Structure 1
Amino acid sequence: MTEQTSTAPPGSRLRRILGAVVADRRPLRIPAFRRLWLSSIVTALGSQLTAVAVPKQIYDITGSSAYVGLTGLFGLVPLLVFGLWGGAIADTVDRRVLLLVTNVGVAVTALLLWAQAFTGLDSVWVVLVLLSVNQAFFAVNMPTRQAVVARVVPEHLLSSAAALTGTMATFGAVFGPMLAGAMLPIVGLPTLYLVDTLALVAVLWAVWKLPPLPPLSGKVRAAGLRDVLMGFRYLATQKVLLASFVVDIVAMVAGMPRALFPELAERTFGDPPGGGTALGWLYAGIPLGAMVLGLMSGWAHRISRHGVAVVVAIGAWGVAMVGFGLSESLWLAVVFLALGGAADMVSAIFRQAILQTAATDEMRGRMQGAFTVVVAGGPRLADLTHGWAAAAAGTTWATAGGGVLVVIGVAMAVALLPAFWRYRAEVPPR
C-alpha cells in the first residue's frame, strides 16, 4: 500500500464506499428532472391508492377473482391502442403540451371513479369502463414522460435517472397499498380515489414548469397509422430492444400474481371481508424489495453487461414467485415478494437504460410507447390469466406454476435472441 493510499482521509474513503452503493443523485442536479421527480413522490402514493381500490371494489361487488382478472383485460386494450399511438404522438408534437393534456385526463377519470364509489352505484362495468378511459390517458402519458427524461438528462446519467425514478415509483407502491389498507376501515374505499385525484395536481405543476419540448426537427404535425408502423419496422431491426421487450413480457404475463391478492388476503392470510393489513402488505411486498434495491443502486452505472443483468434478474424473479406461491405464512410470502421486487428493479433499470441509449430521439417516443405497452400491459394480461387460472386450479398452482414458466420462458428467449445476452453498454468514468 502506498503512502498516499494509507493516508487518505477516512471521510473520502467512506464517500467512495457510499458512492458505490447509494443511488447516484447526479440527475437531481438538473432542475427539470428534479421537479418531475419531486412531484412523483405525492402522485406515486395517490396512484397506488387507486390501484388497490379498483380490484378491491370489484372483489367486494362480485366476490370473484375471475372478475378482478377482468381489470387486466379492460386495462390492456387501451394500453395496446393508445400506448403505441401515444408514443407516435410524442415524437411529432410538443411533449410538454401532451403531458399537460394527458395528466388532466387522468385526473378527471380518477374523480369520476370517486363519484361512482361515493354514490354507491356498485356496477362492475362502470368501474371497468372508467378504468379503461383512465388507462388510455395513462398510455399516452407514460411514453411521453419517459421521452422527456431522455431530453433533459445526459445519456451517461440515464441509468441513474431510471434508478431514481423507479425508486420513487416503488416508494409509492410500498407505502400506498399499506396506506390504503389502513385507510379502508376508517374512511372507506371512495376516499382512496379522491386522494389520488388531489395528488395529480403536483404533476400538473411540475409539467407546467418544463420548457417547451417540440420535436428536434422543429416540425410539429399530427401522428397517424404510418408513424406507428414506422415504429414497428424500426423495432424489428433492433434485436436487442426487441429482446428486452420479450423477456419482460415473459416475466410479467407468467409471473405477476397481483390479481390474486384480494382472495389470498381473505382466504389464506385472514383479512376481514372489509379489507385489512394483509392486503396492504401483499400489494407492498414487490415494490418494497424494488425500493430497497433502488436506494442501493449506486453500482448500476458501472455495469456494462446489461443483457446478462436483465436475464439473471428475471430468472431470480421467477424463483421468487415460486416461493411466494408455496408460502402459507403472510410474512414469508411478503419476503418472497420483496425478493422478486428487488430482482424486477434490476431488470427495469437496465431495460430502461438499453431503451434510452439504443433508440434515436425521433423514434424514442414510439419505443417508449412499446415499452409502456409491455411494462404496464404485461401485468394486466397477467391479471386475466392468473385470475382465471386460480378460479380453475387454485391460487397455489397459479402463482408457483407461473414462476416456473418464467424461468423456462426467459431461457428460451435468450436461446432464440442470443444478441441480447451478449449486449454491452459503454460505461463512462464517474
Structure 2
Amino acid sequence: MTTATADGTSLWRHRPFVLLCGEQIASSVGRQITTLALAVTGLGAGPFGAAALLALTYLPGAVLSPLAGVLVDRVRLRNLLVTVTAAQALVVGSVPLADTVGHLTRGHLYVVAAVSGALTFTLAVALQAALHRVVPSGRLLGANSALTAARTSGQIGGPALGGVLVGLAGPAWALLAGSVAYAVEALLVLALPAALNIRRKQGAGSPLDALCSGLAVVRAQPRLRRMVLSGAGLNLGSGAATALYVFYAARELALDAWQLGTTYAVYSAATIAGALLAGRFARTTGLWRATQACGLVAGAAVFLIPAASLGPAFALLLAYQVTYGLSGTIWMISMTTTQQQVTPDGLQGRVAGLVQSVLLLTVPVGAFAGGALAAWLGNVPVLLGSAAVALVSAATLWAPVRAATVEPAEDVPSRLLSPEP
C-alpha cells in the first residue's frame, strides 16, 4: 500500500490525512456501538420493530445522499464536517439522556435511527470530497486503501466494545459511549486545515440543476456509469445473500455459534488484507482491470454460500468470507478512487452522493426481497439466484466500453485508469 504525497513525503506525515484516518476509526467505533445498542433496544418492539430500526439507519441516507452531495459542493466543507459530527454526538446522546429522565420511547429510537443514518451518509459524501482536496489525485489509491483499513479496524473493535458496554451498563449507556466516539470525531475534523472551507466556484442554478450537473459527469464517463450499475447489481445479490446468511448457517447448516462468529472475524481480517493489497494490485493491473477482476471474483464468491449445503459447510463459508472480503474491498477501493479521479473538483460531492445513493438503495431492497422469496421458495434456491444476480452484474464490467467524453484530471496517471491488457 503506497501512501505518499506528490513530493514523495509519506502520507503518515501528512497531518490532514492522519486526522482523516483517526476520524474513520472514531466514526466506525461510534457507528458499530450505536447500531448494536439500537438493535438490542429495538428487540422489545418485536421482529418488525427491530427490522424497522435497521432499515431507518440506511434508507434516509440512500434517499438524501444526492442532496447531501449538492450541500457538500456549496458550503464550507470543514464547517459542514464539524456540524454533522457534532450533531451526530448530540442525536445519539439524547437516548441515554431520555432514558435517565424516564422518557425514552420507541418513537424516539426511530427518530434517532433515521437522523443518525442520514448524518452518517452525509458525512461519507463530505469525506470523499475532503480527501480529494487534501491528497493529490495520484495518491488517492493509497489514501483510500489506508482509510479503508482504518475504518475496518474500528469495525472489528466496535462490536466487541459495544457488546461489553450493553452487557455491563445497558444499551442506553452504551449509546453514551457511541456519542463520545462521535464527539472525538468532531474534534478531529475541527483540526482539519481551514483551507477546506474555501468554497469552489459554483455555477448559478437550483439544487435540481446542481444534481443534473453531477449526473452529467456520471453519464459522460462510461466506465464510471458501468461501475455504478454493476455495483448496484452486485449489492442487490449480495444483500439478499447476507440477509439469509445467519439463519441459513445456523438452521440449515447447523453451524455452532463459535463457527458463525469465526466466519465474520475472518471476513474482517480479509477486508484489512484487501485494503493493504489494493494499492499494489491496482497499480500492477490498472484501476479499471482491478475493478473488473475483483468484481467478478466477488460475484462468483457468493455461490460458495449455497454450495455449503453440499460440502464441508464451515470450510466453504470461511472460503466465501475470505474471497468476498478480499476481492470486494479491492473492488470498492478501485471504484471509489476512479470516481474521485475522473470527477472535477467542484462536483466531487454531487457525484459521490449520486453513486452512494444508488449503491445504498440496492442493499435493503436485496435484503427484503431475499427474505420474502426465501419464505416462499426456501433458502438455497434464493441464495443461488442471488449469486447469479451478483455474478452477472459483475460480468457486465467486461463488456466493451466506449471512450469517455470527459477527460480525467491532468495529474491522474493514465496507466492507472486504462491499462492495455
Residue 258 of structure 1 and its aligned partner are, at CA, apart by: 3.7
CA distance in 1, matches of 2:63, 2:148: 25
Cα distance per residue 1:388-425 (max 9 Å; x no partner): 333433444443431221112222454375669xx995
Structure 1 residue runs without a partner (length 5+): 1-21
One-letter amino acid of the counterpart of residue 113, structure 2: L
Residue 90 of structure 1 and its aligned partner are, at CA, apart by: 1.1
Cα distance per residue 1:341-389 (max 9 Å; x no partner): 1111110111011111100001111111123224444333333333333
One-letter amino acid of the counterpart of residue 208, structure 1: L
Instruction: Verify: 1:364 aligned to 2:352, yes or no.
Output: no
Residue 326 of structure 1 and its aligned partner are, at CA, apart by: 3.8
* Length-normalised TM-score, structure 1: 0.79
User: 113-122 vs 158-167, which deviates more?
Assistant: 113-122
Instruction: Verify: 1:106 aligned to 2:94, yes or no.
Output: no
Note the 1:7-86 alignment, pairs <5 A: 22=1, 24=3, 26-55=10-39, 57-58=41-42, 61-63=45-47, 70=52, 73-86=55-68
Note the 1:240-255 alignment, pairs <5 A: 240-255=223-238
CA distance in 1, matches of 2:175, 2:322: 26
Q: Which residue of 1 aligns with 2:136?
A: 154
Q: CA RMSD in A?
A: 3.5
Residue 251 of structure 1 and its aligned partner are, at CA, apart by: 1.1
CA distance in 2, matches of 1:336, 1:179: 26
**Could you tell me the percent identity over the aligned residues?**
19
Cα distance per residue 1:223-281 (max 9 Å; x no partner): 72321222223322222221121111111111134434564576467799xxx766755
One-letter amino acid of the counterpart of residue 193, structure 1: L
Kindly indicate whether the alpha-carbon contact (under 8 Å) linking 1:309 and 1:347 is maintained by their aligned counterparts in 2: yes
Note the 1:240-319 alignment, pairs <5 A: 240-256=223-239, 257-260=241-244, 263=247, 267=251, 281=262, 283-300=264-281, 302-303=283-284, 305-319=286-300
CA distance in 1, matches of 2:334, 2:182: 28
Instruction: Verify: 1:426 aligned to 2:410, yes or no.
Output: no
User: 379-388 vs 245-254, which deviates more?
Assistant: 379-388
Equivalenced residue count is 399
Cα distance per residue 1:11-50 (max 9 Å; x no partner): xxxxxxxxxxx55463222111111112322332231233
Instruction: Verify: 1:322 aligned to 2:303, yes or no.
Output: yes
CA distance in 1, matches of 2:94, 2:250: 28
Distance 1:96 1:221, change over 3 A: farther
CA distance in 1, matches of 2:263, 2:139: 33
Q: Which residue of 1 aligns with 2:388?
A: 404
Q: Which residue of 2 aligns with 1:10?
A: none
Residue 296 of structure 1 aligns to a residue whose secondary structure is: helix
Distance 1:112 1:268, change over 3 A: farther
Distance 1:407 1:262, change over 3 A: closer
Residue 180 of structure 1 and its aligned partner are, at CA, apart by: 4.3
Q: Which residue of 2 aligns with 1:233?
A: 216
Structure 2 residue runs without a partner (length 5+): 5-9, 417-421
Distance 1:222 1:375, change over 3 A: same
Cα distance per residue 1:302-325 (max 9 Å; x no partner): 235322221221221122222134
One-letter amino acid of the counterpart of residue 93, structure 2: L
Distance 1:186 1:349, change over 3 A: same
Q: Which residue of 2 aligns with 1:4?
A: none
Residue 214 of structure 1 and its aligned partner are, at CA, apart by: 3.5
Residue 259 of structure 1 aligns to a residue whose secondary structure is: helix
Distance 1:55 1:239, change over 3 A: farther
Distance 1:105 1:48, change over 3 A: same
